[in-house]
Protein backbone atom coordinates (compact mmCIF):
# COMPACT_ATOMS: atom_id res chain seq x y z
CA UNK A 1 0.00 0.00 0.00
CA UNK A 2 1.21 3.53 -0.74
CA UNK A 3 2.10 5.43 2.40
CA UNK A 4 -0.31 8.23 3.33
CA UNK A 5 2.52 10.74 3.88
CA UNK A 6 3.49 10.40 0.20
CA UNK A 7 0.59 12.68 -0.71
CA UNK A 8 2.71 15.78 -0.10
CA UNK A 9 6.08 14.31 -1.06
CA UNK A 10 7.34 13.60 -4.54
CA UNK A 11 6.30 10.17 -5.79
CA UNK A 12 7.26 8.33 -8.97
CA UNK A 13 4.77 5.93 -10.51
CA UNK A 14 6.13 3.43 -13.04
CA UNK A 15 3.66 2.34 -15.69
CA UNK A 16 5.45 -0.35 -17.75
CA UNK A 17 4.12 -1.25 -21.16
CA UNK A 18 5.07 -0.87 -24.79
CA UNK A 19 6.38 2.48 -23.65
CA UNK A 20 7.21 2.70 -19.97
CA UNK A 21 5.99 5.95 -18.49
CA UNK A 22 7.27 7.19 -15.16
CA UNK A 23 5.07 9.88 -13.66
CA UNK A 24 6.30 12.42 -11.13
CA UNK A 25 3.50 13.37 -8.74
CA UNK A 26 3.62 16.01 -6.03
CA UNK A 27 0.77 17.52 -4.00
CA UNK A 28 -1.64 15.26 -5.86
CA UNK A 29 -0.72 16.67 -9.28
CA UNK A 30 1.29 15.30 -12.17
CA UNK A 31 4.39 17.48 -12.41
CA UNK A 32 6.36 15.65 -15.11
CA UNK A 33 6.50 12.44 -17.12
CA UNK A 34 9.50 10.45 -18.30
CA UNK A 35 8.65 8.12 -21.19
CA UNK A 36 10.91 5.41 -22.50
CA UNK A 37 10.78 2.77 -25.20
CA UNK A 38 10.85 -0.60 -23.45
CA UNK A 39 8.12 -3.16 -24.15
CA UNK A 40 8.22 -2.47 -27.88
CA UNK A 41 12.01 -2.77 -27.87
CA UNK A 42 11.88 -6.06 -25.96
CA UNK A 43 9.26 -7.39 -28.37
CA UNK A 44 11.23 -6.34 -31.45
CA UNK A 45 14.51 -7.79 -30.17
CA UNK A 46 12.88 -11.00 -28.92
CA UNK A 47 10.93 -11.70 -32.12
CA UNK A 48 12.76 -10.10 -35.03
CA UNK A 49 16.48 -10.62 -34.38
CA UNK A 50 18.88 -13.54 -34.09
CA UNK A 51 18.21 -13.41 -30.33
CA UNK A 52 14.67 -14.79 -30.77
CA UNK A 53 15.83 -18.41 -30.61
CA UNK A 54 18.04 -17.74 -27.57
CA UNK A 55 15.31 -16.64 -25.19
CA UNK A 56 11.81 -17.47 -23.97
CA UNK A 57 9.84 -14.23 -24.12
CA UNK A 58 6.75 -15.94 -22.63
CA UNK A 59 8.36 -17.12 -19.38
CA UNK A 60 7.16 -15.75 -16.06
CA UNK A 61 10.42 -16.74 -14.38
CA UNK A 62 13.19 -14.31 -13.47
CA UNK A 63 16.80 -15.22 -12.80
CA UNK A 64 17.78 -12.30 -10.55
CA UNK A 65 21.53 -12.83 -10.96
CA UNK A 66 21.29 -12.79 -14.76
CA UNK A 67 18.92 -9.82 -14.69
CA UNK A 68 21.51 -7.83 -12.73
CA UNK A 69 24.31 -9.06 -15.00
CA UNK A 70 22.38 -7.72 -18.01
CA UNK A 71 21.96 -4.36 -16.30
CA UNK A 72 25.66 -4.27 -15.45
CA UNK A 73 26.60 -5.13 -19.05
CA UNK A 74 24.39 -2.28 -20.25
CA UNK A 75 26.18 0.16 -17.94
CA UNK A 76 29.65 -1.10 -18.88
CA UNK A 77 29.32 -1.68 -22.62
CA UNK A 78 26.20 0.15 -23.85
CA UNK A 79 23.12 -1.37 -25.40
CA UNK A 80 24.63 -2.66 -28.66
CA UNK A 81 27.33 -4.78 -27.01
CA UNK A 82 25.07 -5.84 -24.13
CA UNK A 83 22.48 -7.15 -26.59
CA UNK A 84 25.15 -8.95 -28.57
CA UNK A 85 26.25 -10.74 -25.41
CA UNK A 86 22.91 -12.61 -25.43
CA UNK A 87 23.92 -14.04 -28.82
CA UNK A 88 27.33 -15.08 -27.53
CA UNK A 89 25.62 -16.86 -24.64
CA UNK A 90 23.79 -19.04 -27.16
CA UNK A 91 27.07 -19.99 -28.80
CA UNK A 92 29.53 -20.18 -25.91
CA UNK A 93 27.56 -21.03 -22.76
CA UNK A 94 25.22 -23.61 -21.34
CA UNK A 95 22.81 -21.04 -19.94
CA UNK A 96 19.14 -21.89 -20.31
CA UNK A 97 16.57 -19.67 -22.01
CA UNK A 98 15.26 -18.24 -18.73
CA UNK A 99 18.77 -17.08 -17.78
CA UNK A 100 19.33 -15.48 -21.20
CA UNK A 101 15.85 -13.90 -21.13
CA UNK A 102 16.57 -12.39 -17.72
CA UNK A 103 19.87 -11.00 -19.00
CA UNK A 104 18.04 -9.41 -21.96
CA UNK A 105 15.41 -7.97 -19.62
CA UNK A 106 18.20 -6.51 -17.50
CA UNK A 107 19.60 -4.79 -20.58
CA UNK A 108 16.31 -3.37 -21.84
CA UNK A 109 14.56 -2.53 -18.57
CA UNK A 110 17.92 -1.40 -17.22
CA UNK A 111 17.82 1.38 -19.82
CA UNK A 112 14.64 2.66 -18.17
CA UNK A 113 16.37 2.59 -14.78
CA UNK A 114 19.33 4.57 -16.15
CA UNK A 115 16.98 7.23 -17.55
CA UNK A 116 15.14 7.34 -14.20
CA UNK A 117 18.42 7.66 -12.30
CA UNK A 118 19.43 10.61 -14.46
CA UNK A 119 16.14 12.43 -13.93
CA UNK A 120 16.38 11.81 -10.16
CA UNK A 121 19.79 13.49 -10.17
CA UNK A 122 18.77 16.43 -12.37
CA UNK A 123 15.10 17.20 -11.70
CA UNK A 124 13.12 14.93 -9.39
CA UNK A 125 15.37 15.23 -6.36
CA UNK A 126 12.55 15.07 -3.80
CA UNK A 127 11.21 11.61 -4.64
CA UNK A 128 10.26 9.84 -1.41
CA UNK A 129 8.46 6.83 -2.82
CA UNK A 130 8.10 4.72 -5.93
CA UNK A 131 5.06 2.77 -7.05
CA UNK A 132 5.35 0.22 -9.85
CA UNK A 133 2.08 -0.81 -11.49
CA UNK A 134 2.21 -3.68 -13.94
CA UNK A 135 2.05 -7.40 -14.36
CA UNK A 136 3.78 -9.32 -11.59
CA UNK A 137 6.91 -10.23 -13.57
CA UNK A 138 7.59 -6.76 -14.96
CA UNK A 139 6.89 -5.09 -11.61
CA UNK A 140 9.38 -7.46 -9.95
CA UNK A 141 12.01 -6.80 -12.61
CA UNK A 142 11.80 -3.06 -11.97
CA UNK A 143 11.79 -3.61 -8.18
CA UNK A 144 14.97 -5.71 -8.43
CA UNK A 145 16.72 -3.22 -10.71
CA UNK A 146 15.65 -0.31 -8.51
CA UNK A 147 17.87 -1.70 -5.73
CA UNK A 148 20.91 -0.75 -7.84
CA UNK A 149 20.13 2.98 -7.65
CA UNK A 150 22.08 3.25 -4.37
CA UNK A 151 19.32 5.34 -2.83
CA UNK A 152 16.88 4.42 -0.14
CA UNK A 153 13.53 5.09 -1.72
CA UNK A 154 10.69 2.78 -0.65
CA UNK A 155 9.29 0.80 -3.57
CA UNK A 156 5.77 -0.61 -3.70
CA UNK A 157 4.52 -2.88 -6.47
CA UNK A 158 0.91 -3.17 -7.58
CA UNK A 159 -0.27 -5.84 -9.97
CA UNK A 160 -2.34 -4.53 -12.87
CA UNK A 161 -5.36 -6.71 -13.60
CA UNK A 162 -5.13 -8.62 -16.89
CA UNK A 163 -6.55 -6.85 -19.93
CA UNK A 164 -7.24 -3.64 -17.99
CA UNK A 165 -5.69 -0.41 -19.23
CA UNK A 166 -4.91 2.19 -16.59
CA UNK A 167 -4.03 4.63 -19.39
CA UNK A 168 -7.57 4.39 -20.82
CA UNK A 169 -9.10 4.66 -17.35
CA UNK A 170 -7.00 7.74 -16.63
CA UNK A 171 -7.92 9.35 -19.94
CA UNK A 172 -11.64 8.74 -19.30
CA UNK A 173 -11.29 10.19 -15.81
CA UNK A 174 -9.66 13.34 -17.23
CA UNK A 175 -12.57 13.72 -19.67
CA UNK A 176 -15.06 13.25 -16.82
CA UNK A 177 -13.26 15.85 -14.70
CA UNK A 178 -13.23 18.31 -17.62
CA UNK A 179 -16.98 17.84 -18.11
CA UNK A 180 -17.57 18.64 -14.42
CA UNK A 181 -15.69 21.95 -14.73
The answer to whether 38 and 108 have CB atoms below 8 angstroms apart is: yes
Torsion of CA 8, 147, 34, 44, to 10 degrees: -150
**Distance, CA of 151 to CA of 147 (rounded, Å):** 8
Q: Quick one: residue 57, left, alpha or beta (phi over 0 = left, psi -120 to 50 = alpha)?
A: alpha
Q: Which residue has the higher pLDDT, 43 or 169?
A: 43
Which tens digits make up the pLDDT trace of 70-125?
999 999 999 999 999 999 998 898 999 999 999 999 999 999 999 999 999 999 99
The domains located in the chain, with CATH, are: 9-180 (3.30.420.310)
Q: Which residue has the higher pLDDT, 45 or 175?
A: 45
Q: How many residues are recorded in the chain? A: 181
Q: Which of 158, 159, 127 is nearest to 32 (CA)?
A: 127
Of 86-90, 135-139, 161-165, least confident by mean pLDDT is 161-165
Q: In the predicted model, is pLDDT for residue 1 greater than 50? A: no
pTM: 0.85
pLDDT of residue 173: 62
Q: Which residue has the higher pLDDT, 6 or 24?
A: 24
Amino acid sequence: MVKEDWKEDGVSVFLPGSHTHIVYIKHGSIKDILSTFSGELFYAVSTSTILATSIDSKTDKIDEEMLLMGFQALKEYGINRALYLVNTMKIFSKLDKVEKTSFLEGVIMGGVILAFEKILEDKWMDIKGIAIVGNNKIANIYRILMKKLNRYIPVNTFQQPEKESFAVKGFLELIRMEELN
